[in-house]
Structure 1
Amino acid sequence: MCRLLGVVARRPEPLGELLAEEIPEFVALSREHGDGWGVASWSGTAPAVARDVEAAHRSARFGMVRRTTTDAGLLHIRMASAGSPLTAQNTHPFTGRRMAFAHNGFFSPRDALDELIPADLLATATGDTDSERYFLLLRGLLREHEPAAALALAAERIRLRATAFASLNCLLLTDDALYAYSEQNPDSEVARRRGPEFFRLHYQITEDRVVVGSSGMPRAQRSWTELPERHVLEIRRGDLRVSAHPPLPPVAAAS
């Protein structure tokens, strides 16, 4: 399993300053979630991405990324699923079409979505993770839907197709906003073993920034708000407008 952290700020600052309270606890989690890290930060006309298969707490490169100046970014530390190689191609975030995506959780089988992913997008897959398939499905849905609806629809497709899943939690960074989606399967082996809090996403709104992240940062997250299950949190760049989109109605979700 993995951990997620995202931020949108009113003005660009180094990530290490924007997330001064969160990053130490987040990096400490890489002692368990130690199978690589990735950071996407908005820069110019597309997200700039840095990734490494080394654990974040041991990585000199991660220390350098803290100095990246941006107004919007997402961070991911990885705990690889069994049998998934530790390669750059399997390391989040995944990118394409001026966006970046990171997932915390798993579903199986990995190819459950292949029939639903447009052939031109499936041909661009470079790794062998379920998470990359999640992103490719989402990119296909974004051709016809706005991001909040596309995220909810992607999760619905996985729920219907997968034989098992633990969590569909994810972050999506676009040129307009950062989006977070929250959903876990309480009956999964991971949820039973780690408890109901493990996959919950929380967020905090202040005057100068909005932050969203996985559990495991107790000091930083003392006053954060839980993102309800199957809701999409939308944080707009520029004005920090925040919307929590409720689950799609059954008719829309099935269409």
Structure 2
Amino acid sequence: MQRPYVLLSCAMSVDGYIDDTTPERLSLSNVKDFDRVDEVRAESDAILIGATTMRRDNPRLLVNSESRRARRVAQGLPPYPLKVAITTSGDLDPDLRFWHSGGEKVVYCPDAAAAKLRLTLHDLADVVNLGPTVDLGRMLDDLASRGVRRLMVEGGGTIHTQFLTQGLADEIHLAIAPIFVGDSNAPRFVNPGNFPGGTGHRMALAEVRAVDDVVLLRYLPKESSGSPTS
């Protein structure tokens, strides 16, 4: 069974940060870019985030456009994509907005966290334990068995890093906001890691698009653009 096509989606500052260190969420996208993201969500079979992003941002992860939801239904799909969460500790508040809107939810965790999650979440989500750690390959295989062909990953940095260092990302959408954060303690798009190909690997740039004052860069990490010419 073919694994889902994995698309990483992220908005970040010019200096590479996805948030600042204040309690309030830093707004990086603009209205048109939020609408673009809504379209990408509507085209996906599942949307994934990590537990840290869930706790910090408390997102709902919905397709907000009624017409896009209607289009999905007309295609024989549920109005909302499957919502997917990853947690290592199992510390997820059942009152988070993630659980109480949209369609079906599934949570992937290590064996040690499964009992606590099932007790905490009850029937809010399907809890799937994947062994001693969250094995992303096994998770993608399980998602494929659920009919997921296209997976959108919305962070955070640890999750993006894991997908990229394990060579599991097929596409990256980077929305670059025209601001600087300048705080080394703020979260970044990716963390340090051993990325496939090392510093010599140049990804293929598939698209550059202005979205008002945001620039969308679309990369294909498994493809190479070749060596630069002098």
TM-score range, shorter chain: 0.3 to 0.5
Higher Cα Rg, which structure = 2
- TM-score, with structure 2 as normaliser: 0.39
Task: With a CA cutoff of 8 Å and minimum separation of 6, indicate the structure with the bigger relative contact order.
Answer: 2
Structure in which a larger fraction of residues adopt strand: 1
